[in-house]
Structure 1
Amino acid sequence: MSENDLPSEGRPVRWFYKVNGENVGPLEEPEFLELLTSGKLSRSTKVWSRELGPVWRRVYEVDRLIDMLHEADEEAKAEKEANRPPRHVAPSLAWIMVFAPVISALGALMLGGIIPAAAEDFRVYLLPAYFLMAYPVVCACFHRIDSKALKASYEESVKVGIVLFLLIPPAYFLLRKNIAKNQHFILPLLSFAVYPTPFLIYWAAF
C-alpha cells in the first residue's frame, strides 16, 4: 500500500466517484465500500479522496480499496461457509455397500456359469477362485467410491477402511457412523447378518 493511500491521522476517509462524467460524493468509506462490494461500482470506476492527492484514480489502482475489497470477499466467503447447511453422503450408498458380499457372490456365480470348462468337476474347483476374486474387487470399488464421498463431505474417511471393509464389515460401518452421522444405525447389524451369505449361496448352488 502506498503512502498516498493511507488515511490521514484521525481523519475519516471520504470518497468521490465519477458517473457519466459527473462527480458524486463525498461518501463515508463504509458506504462507498458497500457500493463496490454490491457491484454498483466497478473496479474501473474513477475515484478520488483527499488522501490520493490531486489525481483521480481507478479503483483497481488504489491499494487501500483493493485490500478492503479482498477482506470483504473473505468475510463474505466465511459467512457463507458458516451458514451453509451440513453436507451428507447419500445414505443409499451405505445401504448398497452392506450387500457387497451378496453382489460379489452373485457375480461369481454368473462368471462360474460361463466358465469354458471341459468337465463339471473342473468348474467346481474353479468357481471358488471367482469368489476369492469377485469379493475383493467389488469391495475395493465400493470402498473407493465411499472414501471419496466421505472426504468430499467431511474431509475424512475411515482409517484402514479397505482392510476393515474386506475383513470386518460391521466394524467398518461402526466407524463410518462416527463420520457420516446420517448413516442408519442398523447398518452394522445388517452387515453382520449379510457377511456369511456368500458361503450360503455357494453351498446352495452346489
Structure 2
Amino acid sequence: MKNAVEILHIIPDTPDVRRYRVEKPDSYKFTPGQATDVAIDRDGWREEERPFTFTSLPEEDTLEFTIKSYPDHDGVTDKLAELTAGDSLLIQDPWGTIEYKGPGVFIAGGAGITPFLAILRKLAKAGDLAGNRLIFGNKTGDDIIARTELEGMLTGEDLLLVLSDEEKDGFRHGLIDKELLSSTVSDFNQRFYVCGPPPMMDGVTSALKELGADPDALTFED
C-alpha cells in the first residue's frame, strides 16, 4: 500500500548524507533492520521507487530515513537532496531480510550502516548492546554516518572504524577483507551481520566462510 508522507525535517549528517524525518502513517509498523520502497511525490518521479531503510525506532511518532545522495547519478537520491521540509514522499509497506538474531559482529560499508542503525539504537535503548561489535568501513573520516552517535554507543574494541582512502590516527587503514577480519576478529563461531555495496558484501561473506564462520550464522540483505 502506498502512503503519502510529508517531510518534517531534513538534517545533514555527512557532506552527502541527510536524515529525512517524515510523517508516520496511522498503524504503520516495521521492525529494526527493515526497509521500504520510497518515491518522490512529484510529477515524473512517483514511479521511480528506491529501497531505503528505516533508521528510526518502531515506537517513535515519526519515521526517519538516512539517505546518501549520488549527484553524479542524476537520479532519485540526487533529486531527494533538492527537497525541503513540506515536500512529500510516497512509501510502501515495510520489507527486509536483516533481522537481529542475537549478539554478534556487525560489518558495514558506507551507507550499508543504515539497517544496523535502528537495530543498534534499539539495543542501546534497552541496555542490550553487550556482546555486539561494529566494524564500519568508509573512504574517509568525513564519510562516517552517525559517527558521534556510534562512538557514544560502542567503545573500545566494540567499534572498529576502517578508512580506505585516508590514513588517520585512531582508524584502521585499508579494506574490510580477509586479512583485516583475521587480525581483528578472534572468534568466528558467532553471528555476523553484513551490509554494504555488493562487491564488499561478496568479499566479506566469502572471507568469513573461509575463516570458519557458519554460513547459517551470516545475516545479510538479499
- Greater length-normalized contact order (CA 8 Å, ≥ 6 residues apart): 2
TM-score by length of 1: 0.20
Structure whose residues are more often strand by fraction: 2
Structure with higher Rg: it is 1
